């Protein structure tokens, strides 16, 4: 018999094994083509908790960068950014572009109240 925890883990595994969505970033051309960032809208409890904590600390752009680090993937599903690249993403990348990518990825629904969670 399967346990509730095993069922919950299988459910999450099924979610993250689904088809990748993508966002084209026109500003980030590579080889003359816009960069395509693949992603899934599903985060672990730990990842989402980290983002909510940053949001509640009024670190909204850092939250957006961390959401990109957690969610952005290449076409084969491998992570596009590492946590070690956070500094560069925070200091040397357009905030407007990060904001646009975050918005298009829709990791938090517009009506979702992430504050005070």
Residue 71 to residue 38: CA distance in whole angstroms: 8
User: Looking at the 3D structure of the chain, how many domains does it have?
Assistant: 1
- Specify if 7 maps to a domain: no
CATH of the domain at 95: 3.30.2220.20
Residue 97's domain comprises 19-105
What is residue 21's three-state secondary structure?
A: strand
Residue 117 to residue 102: CA distance in whole angstroms: 20
Lowest-pLDDT range of 4-8, 21-25, 58-62? 4-8
Note the pLDDT tens digit of each residue in 59-80.
999 999 999 999 999 999 899 9
pLDDT band at 108 (very low <50, low <70, confident <90, very high): low
Provide DSSP, 24-80.
EEEEEEETTEEEEEEE-S---HHHHHHHHHHHHTT-HHHHHHHHHHHH-B-TTS-BS
Mean pLDDT score, 6-35:
90
The pTM for the full model equals: 0.82
- Specify if 93 maps to a domain: yes
| Torsions phi, psi for 34 (to 5 deg) | -60, 150
């Amino acid at each position: 018999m399967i346990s509730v925890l095993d069922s919950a883990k299988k459910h999450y595994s099924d979610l993250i094994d689904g088809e990748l969505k993508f966002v084209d970033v026109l500003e980030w051309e590579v080889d003359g083509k816009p960069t395509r960032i693949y992603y899934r809208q599903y985060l672990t409890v730990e990842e989402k908790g980290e983002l909510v904590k940053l949001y509640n600390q009024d670190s909204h752009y850092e939250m957006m960068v961390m959401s990109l680090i957690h969610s952005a993937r290449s076409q084969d599903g491998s992570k596009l950014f590492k946590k070690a690249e956070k500094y560069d993403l925070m200091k040397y990348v357009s905030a407007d572009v990060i904001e646009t990518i975050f918005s298009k990825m829709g990791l938090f629904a517009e009506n979702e109240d992430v504050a005070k969670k």
